[in-house]
Amino acid sequence: MKNRLFQHTGQLVLFLLKRDRFVIPIWIMGILFFTYSVAAVFPDLYQTAEERQSIAATMNNPAIIAMVGPGYGLDNYTPGAMMAHQMLLFTAIAAAIMSILLVTRHLRADEEEGRIELIRSFPVGRLANISASFIVLTFVNVALALIIGFGLAVMKIESMDLEGSLLYGAAIGAGGFIFTGLTAIFNQLTQNARSALGLSFSALGGFYLLRALGDIDQSGLSWFSPFGYVTGTKVYVENDWLPIFAAAGIGLFFAAAAFYLQSIRDLDTGFLPAGKGREKANKTLLSPIGLTFRLQRTGFICWTAGMFILGISYGAVLGDLESFFQDVDLMKNMLVPVEGYTLTEQFLPMLLSVMAMMGTIPVLMSVLKLAGEEKKGRAENIYSLAISRNRYLWSHIFLALISALFMLLAMAIGLWFAAAAVMEEPFQLSTIFRGAFAFLPALLLMISISVLLVGISAKYGALTWIYLLYSFIVVYLGNLLQFPDWMSKLSPYGYIPQIPVESMDYPAAIMMTIIAALIMVTGTFFYNKRDISG
């Protein structure tokens, strides 16, 4: 009788593998490619032991520990130790994200879409789908571990031996395995895939922070986070396998819990109450701007946090940049030394411009949301009410402007915060702020262009992304690839002064702002004259 619960698990495994025949290889290849490319460049970046030791000296500050885990083997900072210390945790997080997405796809998403109901109507066991999902995910994580392990070993990099490499892979797979079980539990609790993903990613973020705290105060708190087991292996230095076995045990325990919960619940139910939504709307929702903000709130918060973290990660590397620059020919091409400025000061504008362009993404998304709403047939809801085109359009523009300010602010504060922790002579807050906000006119121009395109037709809005991509290529890689000057002058980012090396160019900023305003007004004009298609 017992067997009946698992009837046809084997066929389902094949079926799931077939459904995921593109997704799984893409994830594995992506993670592998990331690992390979870092492993390939690290030894070249730091060719001598002295260089590595100078980096090692910066690895003991709290910002770095919070980000990548405690340093180990710092007295003899081999390429292996360096790679494992700085990259292993992030790679394990990628494996965890992969597992969260794949598990939810096969458990709750399939159930929500009614596919499980269909499968269950065949002579298929009640636990067959969850078993098949686990088998597939275990297979994926083990395959990932082995491919990365052997892959690193065959590169024959000094200090990266077979055992260490296999452990490196195993630590990544262990991260994925624990989150497979944990996500499977969350999939039992909630009633829809979205909430399951929400819980899983919150857990991922929470465990990352828990480990950061534990690593900083060394209280052992890290062992309550799956990521503590990943960094606890001390790959390439101590090669401790114990955390891997512990992680496998924890993963199995989570899996057993998920199986039990699955076995006692009805189809389409969850253990958490469905969470009744609001019966009446909050006052803050009841205006075009209120609605617009509400629809973008989650994205807005995530992007602000993301820009802050991006600022921190860029800031964290500033400390060892001076020594780094001396050896990297690549960077020398990008930076022509300027008298009277340190190399970090010269490097700052480039960091800021990359971050400003990243920060432009959510800003443009705010404007393009208007086109998205139209394509999804929801704009007509608003325009059949007593709301003018101007009012709804400018709600989006206004939010984009606020978003621009927040993104620049978040990245500037993040950068300053980390730079203050790691640099011997940290930047002034005002320097970073001036540098960051110098990009505001460029963002305004990007907003205005998206307004113009959306104003002409909802279809054209997405063209703004191409322009942003173009800007990124010419401004970021332009120096390196020796593009002619006029190419970067076709992008608004090409007109932003290199603060602190150059001084603020107010006439240019004012000019750009005026042009942006004119383009926005033109876009508004078109938007008022055209058909709303849905």
Partner 1 sequence: MAVVETRNLTKKFGTFSALSGVDLSVDKGEVYGFIGPNGAGKSTTIRILLGLLKASSGDAAIFGMDAWRDAVEIHKRLAYVPGDVNLWPNLTGGEVIDLFLKLRGSEKNSKRDEMIERFQLDPTKKCRTYSKGNRQKVALVSAFSAQADLYILDEPTSGLDPLMEKVFQECVMDVKEAGGSVILSSHILSEVEKLCDRVGIIREGTMIETGTLKELRHLTRTSLLVETAEKMGDLEMLKGVHGSEWKGNIVQFQADSEEIGSIMEYVSRFGVIRIESAPPTLEDLFMRHYETQPSQPRGK
Q: For partner 1, which residue of 288, 359, 362, 497 counts as binding (CB under 8 A)?
A: 288
- Number of residues interacting with partner 1: please give it, by CB under 8 A: 33
Count of alpha carbons within 13 angstroms of residue 164, beta-carbon side: 24
Q: Binding to partner 1 by residue 115, rule CB under 8 A?
A: no
For 337, list phi and psi in degrees, rounded to 5: -55, 140
CA gyration radius for the chain? Answer: 26
Q: Binding to partner 1 by residue 530, rule CB under 8 A?
A: yes
Q: For partner 1, which residue of 202, 269, 388, 428 counts as binding (CB under 8 A)?
A: 388
Q: Binding to partner 1 by residue 284, rule CB under 8 A?
A: no
Q: First-to-last CA distance in the chain? A: 55
Site string for partner 1, 148-187 (x = CB under 8 A): ----------------------------------------
- Give the 3-state DSSP-derived string for 449-512, with helices as H, strands as E and coil as C: HHHHHHHHCHHHHHHHHHHHHHHHHHHHCCCCCCCCHHHHCCCHHHHCCCCCCCCCCHHHHHHH
- Give the 3-state DSSP-derived string for 405-420, with helices as H, strands as E and coil as C: HHHHHHHHHHHHHHHH
Site string for partner 1, 292-311 (x = CB under 8 A): --xx----------------
Q: Binding to partner 1 by residue 534, rule CB under 8 A?
A: yes
Q: Binding to partner 1 by residue 432, rule CB under 8 A?
A: no
The nearer residue to partner 1, 225 or 296, going by C-beta atoms, is 296
Q: Binding to partner 1 by residue 280, rule CB under 8 A?
A: yes
The nearer residue to partner 1, 284 or 326, going by C-beta atoms, is 284
Q: For partner 1, which residue of 7, 54, 192, 479 counts as binding (CB under 8 A)?
A: 192
Among residues 95, 84, 83, 94, the alpha carbon closest in space to that of 41 is found at 83
* Helices 79-104 + 23-45 axis angle, to 10: 160
The nearer residue to partner 1, 47 or 284, going by C-beta atoms, is 284
E strands, 443-499, are none
Distance from CA of residue 311 to its chain's centroid? Answer: 13
Q: Binding to partner 1 by residue 529, rule CB under 8 A?
A: yes
The nearer residue to partner 1, 104 or 488, going by C-beta atoms, is 104
Q: Binding to partner 1 by residue 281, rule CB under 8 A?
A: yes
Binding segment for partner 1 (CB under 8 A), chosen from 138-146, 259-267, 380-388, 479-487, is 380-388
Place of tokens 């083997």: 73
Binding segment for partner 1 (CB under 8 A), chosen from 101-109, 239-247, 289-297, 454-462, is 289-297
C-alpha span between 415 and 427 (Å, rounded): 9
Distance (Å) of CA 353 to CA 275, 336, 405: 43, 17, 15
Q: For partner 1, which residue of 1, 264, 336, 385 counts as binding (CB under 8 A)?
A: 385
Contact yes or no for 468/360 (Cβ under 8 A): yes
Residues comprising the chain, all counted? 534
The nearer residue to partner 1, 1 or 286, going by C-beta atoms, is 286
C-alpha span between 436 and 439 (Å, rounded): 6
Give least dist CB 40 to partner 1, A.
43
Give least dist CB 376 to partner 1, A.
6
Which residues in the 223-262 window bind partner 1 by CB under 8 A? none
Among residues 91, 107, 103, the alpha carbon closest in space to that of 30 is found at 91
The nearer residue to partner 1, 220 or 275, going by C-beta atoms, is 275
Q: For partner 1, which residue of 387, 463, 508, 515 counts as binding (CB under 8 A)?
A: 387
C-alpha span between 281 and 294 (Å, rounded): 11
Give least dist CB 279 to partner 1, A.
5
Give least dist CB 456 to partner 1, A.
14
Give least dist CB 514 to partner 1, A.
30
Distance from CA of residue 310 to its chain's centroid? Answer: 9
C-alpha span between 420 and 433 (Å, rounded): 14
Among residues 405, 449, 433, the alpha carbon closest in space to that of 499 is found at 433
Q: For partner 1, which residue of 286, 339, 466, 485 counts as binding (CB under 8 A)?
A: 286
Give least dist CB 373 to partner 1, A.
9
Q: Binding to partner 1 by residue 532, rule CB under 8 A?
A: yes
Binding segment for partner 1 (CB under 8 A), chosen from 72-80, 136-144, 221-229, 288-296, is 288-296
Q: Binding to partner 1 by residue 119, rule CB under 8 A?
A: no
Give least dist CB 119 to partner 1, A.
22
Contact yes or no for 406/320 (Cβ under 8 A): no
Contact yes or no for 362/303 (Cβ under 8 A): yes
Contact yes or no for 100/183 (Cβ under 8 A): yes
Q: Binding to partner 1 by residue 466, rule CB under 8 A?
A: no
C-alpha span between 58 and 72 (Å, rounded): 12
Q: Which residues bind partner 1 (CB under 8 A)?
A: 192, 194, 276-282, 285-288, 291, 294-295, 376-378, 380-388, 529-532, 534
